[in-house]
Structure 1
Amino acid sequence: MTTLQQPIVSPFTAASTASEVMAGVELAGQLAVVTGGHSGLGLVTVKSLAAAGAQVIVPARDPQRARAALADIKGVTVQAMDLIDPDSIRAFSAEVIRQGQPVSLLINCAGVMASPLARDADGHESQFATNHLGHYRLTCGLWPTLVAAGSARVIAVSSRGHQIAGVDFEDIDFTHRPYDKWVAYGQSKTANSLFAVALDKRGCDQGVRAFSLHPGQILTDLGRHLSRAEIAAFDVFDEHGQQKVVPEMGLKTLEQGAATGLWCANSAALNGRGGVYCEDCNIAAVNEVESGRRGVARWAVDPDAAQRLWQLSEQWTGMSVR
């Protein structure tokens, strides 16, 4: 199961930045779609791709806000889309297909974390619905454009938070067990990793490879649902109230945090190695010991769990890749 889930020789480290990873990368003529691309890690990702010559589409729940954040970046357009709204995703995907340009990169960077219990229109828990089902629908909706690229990559931004919990297939939506916002978050991040495993299996013969990753521990708008006490417990601030930067411990700048996703999207070192979970600009080893440490939990790269999640996602959304 873990033949490919082993570190390789990489010129980059935990401290590498987006600009270092993208040095020499040419993306002229290529189209990328980046969810969450108007803030935080997504914004750095969009700037980096555009600087390399790519055209970038940023789907956004609040297009006006997104356009304001992206106004000074050449080659970037914004279209309306809400990850928790299937009709919105369907309309966005149809518009991208109508435009007729293949999508070489789909970077699923948007997400929610540790939010209060809420449900989508079908009753699914909102973190799972947004972080996994929304991106699953988007990938399926854009599938013809990804295949048309001839060589495309789909990047799922997971998190070390996946180590909190695997997918509870008996009660994904917390209809029987008490809701725990961190368990729900961990479950959704495990789903991101399993999604990449399952998608890569289905897409590799059509030229579409998939990867998941942990970007690092960076305090962004993702933490908007956290209290001051919860944020303080992460120990991300120094005595002067500034965010700590200790990349080898996962405490990174936005530039460092975006590096692994960009490496997954563009590195030739990953040719033929799809379906793997990455961190620190490398493939992560399996962590068999404890949570909160480097590596990927075995449950997040288990092919049987990935297959089960895919089949359930097909059932719940009525969508798949062809």
Structure 2
Amino acid sequence: METAIQYTRTPQEPIPSGFGSDTTAAEALGGRDLSGKIAIVTGGYSGLGLETARVLAEAGATVIVPARTPDKARAAVAAIPRVELEAMDLLDPASIDAFAERFLATGRPLDILVNSAGIMAAPLTRDARGYESQFAVNHLGHFQLTARLWPALKQAGGARVVSVSSRALRFAGVNLEDPNYEHREYEKWQAYGQSKTANVLFAVELDRIGYAHGVRAFAVHPGTIVTDLSRHLSDDEMRAMGALDEQGRRVAVNKDAGFKSVAEGAATSVWCAANAQLDGRGGVYCEDVDIAAFAGPDSPSFGPGVVQWAIDPVIARRLWALSEDMTGVTFE
């Protein structure tokens, strides 16, 4: 007679890890040897995704990088060992399915999936289904990808899935009745916040479902970093954020304004993907290379910590059902 495996949720509180905001991705690995491991990193050819892919590969993992334009991505990953480039567009469901089918056909397990690609503060655009683009790319595309790769994740017997979220989750919860802004006025930062909250809720429910198969899930806030993610922002918006130098250039690091380097920004993703400190844990939101605490009642709107609506298991299950309906994809 089989005994049901009881899921125990990891407390949403710091371990503490001993790391911090200045920790780099290489340091966050904790000396883990990833030889023989297989990883997929979406967005792994620019910004934080590129640094994540590099650190995982240099630790011994084979890293598959799906890219909308593989030819452009090839130059970015040319110096990284054990990288395989594939074609995939998160706005195109058929492209996601085709990529996943090619990977599953290799028969390999998938030890690490880092859902790092995304868009931010984009003007209102819709995919071919009519879905708002930030929700479609940042959440639904990764939901479908993870579902299609589910057999390989289970096959690994200890896989981890990392969803790159943001402190912008505090801008908005997920409007389950109108996620695509069909009946309300569109606001780009609210839409971005909705998609980032969805990333965390996805990790909460995925961890519960995956627990019996050894699949653990995490969501991360990488920090504030100047990358191509800011391409939809004007210079005036960047200046207001403290992200322009005296020459009007978009600066890579401005510690006084709370910015991180790319190496520091990728640290929490790498920590969640591979560090042994998180063995046996999952379903939590992390920042500054530790499990985040709850935000205080007087903390700023883009301050540290997580809010209850982003990790509420009931909301997470409702979003999961909506995501299945919107994508037509299930995990089993």
Per the TM superposition, whether the score is higher than 0.5 is yes
In the other structure, the counterpart of 1:4 is: 11
Q: CA deviation at 1:63?
A: 0.6
Q: Distance in 1 between matches of 2:140 and 2:258?
A: 27
Q: Which residue pairs with 1:186 in the alignment?
A: 193
Question: 2:281 is matched with which residue: 257, 273, 276?
Answer: 273
Secondary structure class of the residue paired with 2:217: strand
Q: Which residue of 2 aligns with 1:246?
A: 255
**Do 2:47 and 2:227's aligned partners in 1 also have CA atoms closer than 8 Å?**
yes
Quote the sequence identity (%).
55
2:205, 2:317 within 8 Å by CA — same for their partners in 1? yes
Deviation at 1:294, TM superposition (A): 0.4
Moved more, 180-189 or 21-30: 21-30
Pairwise CA distance, 1:288: 4.0
**Cα distance between partner residues in 1 of 2:29 and 2:219:** 18
SS state at 2:91 partner: coil
Q: Would the aligned equivalents of 1:110 and 1:131 in 2 still touch at CA under 8 Å? A: yes
Over the aligned positions, Cα root-mean-square deviation in angstroms equals: 1.6
Deviation at 1:183, TM superposition (A): 0.6
Q: Is the 8 A contact 1:14 1:250 kept in 2?
A: no
Structure 1 residue aligned with 2:326: 316
Q: Pairwise mapping of residues 1-322 of structure 1 onto structure 2 (< 5 A)? A: 4-237=11-244, 239=246, 242-246=251-255, 250-289=258-297, 290=299, 291-322=301-332
Shift of 1:245: 3.8
CA contact (8 A) 1:238 1:244 kept: no
Shift in Å, 1:246: 2.7
Cα separation, 2, equivalents of 1:296 and 1:246 = 22
Size of the alignment, in residue pairs?
A: 321
- Quote how far apart the aligned CAs of 1:67 are: 1.1
CA distance in 2, matches of 1:13, 1:300: 22
Cα deviation for residue 56 of structure 1 reads 0.5
CA distance in 2 between counterparts of 1:244 and 1:86 reads 36
Shift of 1:18: 1.1
- SS of aligned partner of 1:224: helix
Please give the alpha-carbon distance, in whole angstroms, between the structure 2 residues aligned to 1:2 and 1:270: 13
Q: Which amino acid aligns with 1:118?
A: T
Please tell me whether the aligned partners of residues 13 and 280 of structure 1 are also in contact (alpha carbons under 8 angstroms).
yes
- 2:206–2:283 CA contact under 8 A, matched in 1: yes
The letter for the 1-side match of 2:283 is G
Cα distance in 2 between the residues matched to 1:237 and 1:219: 10
Superposition misfits of 4+ residues, deviation over 2 angstroms = 236-247
Q: Unpaired runs of 5+ in structure 2? A: 1-7
Deviates more, 1:64-73 or 1:110-119: 64-73
What is the alpha-carbon distance in structure 2 between the residues aligned to residue 284 and residue 50 of structure 1? 27
For residue 134 of structure 2, give the secondary structure of its aligned residue in structure 1: helix
Q: Which amino acid aligns with 1:124?
A: Y
Q: Residue 2 and residue 235 in structure 1: after superposition, are their counterparts in 2 closer, same or farther (change >3 A)?
A: farther
Q: TM (normalized to structure 2)?
A: 0.93
- Provide the rounded CA distance (Å) in 1 between the counterparts of 2:253 and 2:151: 43
Q: Map Cα deviations across residues 67-99 of structure 1 (whole Å, 9 max, x no partner).
A: 111112110010000001000000000000001
Distance 1:110 1:181 in 2: 18
- The one-letter code of the counterpart of 2:209 is R
User: For 1:104-158, what per-residue CA distance to the aligned partner results, in whole angstroms no more than 9, with x for missing partners?
Assistant: 0000000000111111111110100000000000000000000000000000000
SS for the counterpart of 1:95 is helix
1:120–1:129 Cα contact (<8 Å) kept: yes
Structure 1, gaps ≥5 residues long: none
SS in 2 for 1:285: coil
Distance 1:235 1:56, change over 3 A: same
| 8 Å contact kept, 2:10–2:282 | no
CA contact under 8 A between 1:21 and 1:262: conserved in structure 2? yes
- Alpha-carbon spacing, 1:2–1:90, altered in 2? closer, same or farther (3 Å): closer
Pair 311,117 (structure 1): closer, same or farther in 2 beyond 3 Å: same
Distance 1:284 1:216, change over 3 A: same
After superposition, the Cα gap between the structure-2 partners of 1:183 and 1:23, relative to the gap in structure 1 and judged at 3 Å, is same
Amino acid at match of 2:74: R
CA contact (8 A) 1:237 1:243 kept: no
8 A Cα contact 1:162 1:189, kept in partner: yes
TM-score, with normalisation over the residues of structure 1? 0.96
SS in 2 for 1:58: strand
